[in-house]
Amino acid sequence: MEVCFDSPDTQVRVAGVAEIVEDLGLKQEIVAARPFLKPWVEQHGYDLLVVFRVTQGQAAVWTMAMNFEPTRYRKL
């Protein structure tokens, strides 16, 4: 998988392998820290949440000045 975090002049791309985490305790902790999720979970249950972790991660920074350069990833 790859995600991109974007600001007006810079992008950071993070790539790696996404692994689904089936840990009810972790899901409960996530909901407790983010109260806006509570009504959704109360209505649909914890299966609504899909938690994943990224392994084998690498990241690359991009700016317009680097536009034509090859993408250079760094291991995380």
How sure is the predictor about 71, in pLDDT bands with cuts at 50, 70 and 90?
confident
Evaluate whether 14 touches 58 at the Cβ level (below 8 Å).
Answer: yes
How sure is the predictor about 53, in pLDDT bands with cuts at 50, 70 and 90?
very high
Total domains in the fold of the chain: 1
Q: Which domain holds residue 25?
A: 2-75
Q: State residue 27's pLDDT score.
A: 97
- Taking only the tens place, the pLDDT of each residue in 29-38 is 999 999 999 9
Is pLDDT of 45 > 90? yes
Number of CB atoms found within 10 A of residue 27's CB: 19
